[in-house]
Amino acid sequence: MAHKCHLCLLGLIALSSHLTGSSGEDETHVFISSGENVRLPCNNALHDCKSTTWNCNRHSAAVELIARGIIMKHIESHERLSLGSDCSLNIRNISKEDYGSYSCRQYENDKQQGTDSRVFLHVLHVSSSQTEISAGRSMTLSCLLYSYAVVSCGDWIRSERIELFWVNQAGVKLRRSDSRYQISAPGHCISSLTTTLLNEDHNREWRCNVTQSDQVKTSVTYTVKSSAWIVSMN
């Protein structure tokens, strides 16, 4: 399993906020929605990327993705990886399995130089429990933030002032008091939206947002398509 990391629960625009860890490592948090492309910065890059190694850690299983500037071909999703000119790690078409802790490490003459530049990648994903959707049917959408956190999800969300919530097409936050919607939080990093679809819901959008200190970090839109009631993810 370690060699398959899937690139390392807790997505539109990747935004980051820089923090300093107690270990002295440089830390960055990046929020992204599934299906998007993301750039993970390497803040300790030297004169060229031949000294750069990228590792991924998920569930305490460390996997080497890039060694001395070379992509490891045995990694299952290596075709989605590339190295930027500034030694940043680029990942295309992010999936929920890509969440995790990534570290950029520098070597010279086989000796590590300085401390790691660490990036925590948080992936937002929305799914529906229904395979057939039509007017009159009940639909439940689940919005999950996949994140690699040292503390529990609940503690991390509270300490970093993270919030998951739903908005309608006009960007208005949906409230639990609205009789048309049933909004619940089965876990600290998940928010569920249940509603009975109406005829006018053709092409209607519902969006799940993630904010930190009231600033939107990323979001995922779920659209009910017209014609055959086909659902698409954006």
Contact 225, 232 (CB under 8 A): yes
Phi, psi dihedrals of residue 158, rounded to the nearest 5°: -70, -45
Q: Is the pLDDT of residue 144 over 80?
A: yes
| Separation of alpha carbons 234 and 223, rounded Å | 7
Task: Please count the other Cβ atoms lying within 10 Å of the Cβ belonging to residue 195.
Answer: 20
In contact, 181 and 193? CB cutoff 8 Å: yes
Q: Which residues pair with 187 in a beta bridge?
A: 190
Q: Which residues contact 227 (CB under 8 A, 6 or more apart)?
A: none
Neighbouring C-beta atoms of residue 44, cutoff 10 Å? 20
Mean pLDDT score, 171-178: 88
pLDDT of amino acid 59: 65
Which residue type does 192 have?
S
CA-closest candidate to residue 148, choices 126, 120, 124: 120
Q: Which domains does the chain have, with CATH numbers?
A: 2-124 (2.60.40.10), 125-233 (2.60.40.10)
pLDDT 10s digits, 69-108: 889 988 877 899 999 999 999 999 999 999 999 999 998 8
Tell me if residue 217 falls in helix, strand or coil: strand
pLDDT value at position 228?
Answer: 47
Note the pLDDT of residue 60: 66
Residue with more model confidence, 46 or 172: 172
Pairing of strands 70-71, 61-67: antiparallel
Q: Residue 151 above 80 pLDDT?
A: no
pLDDT digits (tens, 9 = 90+) for 183-226: 998 878 899 999 998 888 888 899 999 999 999 999 999 988 64
Position 6 scores a pLDDT of 40
- The tens digit of pLDDT for each residue in 113-142 reads 878 899 999 999 999 877 677 788 888 999
For the entire predicted model, the pTM comes to 0.81
pLDDT computed for residue 65 by the predictor: 92
Asked whether residue 234 carries a pLDDT value surpassing 70, the answer given is no
142-177 b/e (C-beta count within 10 Å ≥ 16 → b): bbbbbbbbeeebeebbeeeebebbbbeeeeeebeee
Structure confidence by residue, pLDDT tens digits, 14-66: 333 333 333 445 789 999 999 999 999 999 888 789 999 999 987 667 888 98
pLDDT of residue 122: 94
Measured at the CA of 158, the angle between CA 152 and CA 163, to 5 degrees, comes to 105
pLDDT tens, residue by residue, 155-169 = 888 888 999 999 998
